[in-house]
Amino acid sequence: MVDTKRIWSLLEQVNDPEVPVLSVVDLGIIREVRETWSGGAEIVLTPTYSGCPAMDAIRMNIRMVLLSNGYQDVRLTTVLSPAWTTEWMSEKGKDKLRAYGIAPPLPLQQVCHPGLFVREEAVACPHCNSYHTTLISQFGSTACKSLYRCEDCGEPFDYFKCH
């Protein structure tokens, strides 16, 4: 019998290698933990972005953490639908992001809008909390982030963009 509650708590130790303050549970990419017919554990996960290079590392780290806690029969299943959204990120995860210096995703507003020169979401600077910020680029240091600048404290910062 697989103790899924214990596995969920073990998964909280597996961090996103690109944003190491977030666990895979905080990110909302673990969709389900269940027992397989052979009595093993099956972890169902979904990628943030199709090309996210961290996914392979995340899958390996999940295996390592579970293996070192006695789970040998582990199956990782990737599902694409429903597609991951920043709505699934935990509130705790958003607080951790802010403390780490990355502005957390805002509640669903203009997600993935293809409109031209649309008004940007009002993103608060994670350093000084000012809303007087400017988008520099929709594409940042990783697929999931865009690049902003704070006009008050002058610091550039990453914004975990809505998706």
Return residues touching other proteins (CB under 8 A): 47, 49-53, 79-84, 111-118, 136-141, 143, 147, 163
**What one-character DSSP code corresponds to residue 84?**
P
Least separation in angstroms between residue 143's CB and other proteins is 6
Helices (H), 31-90: 54-67
Least separation in angstroms between residue 60's CB and other proteins is 15
Question: In the 3-class helix/strand/coil scheme, how is 100-118 assigned residue by residue?
Answer: HCEECCCCCCCCCCCCCCC
Among 49, 123, 55, 51, which residue's Cα sits nearest to residue 86?
A: 49
The pair of structure tokens assigned to 148 is: 């902003």
Based on CB atoms, which residue is closest to other proteins, 7 or 19? Answer: 19
Based on CB atoms, which residue is closest to other proteins, 7 or 48? Answer: 48
> 3-state SS of the chain: helix, strand, coil percent to 5?
25, 20, 55
Least separation in angstroms between residue 83's CB and other proteins is 4
Based on CB atoms, which residue is closest to other proteins, 1 or 80? Answer: 80
Least separation in angstroms between residue 115's CB and other proteins is 7
Based on CB atoms, which residue is closest to other proteins, 38 or 81? Answer: 81
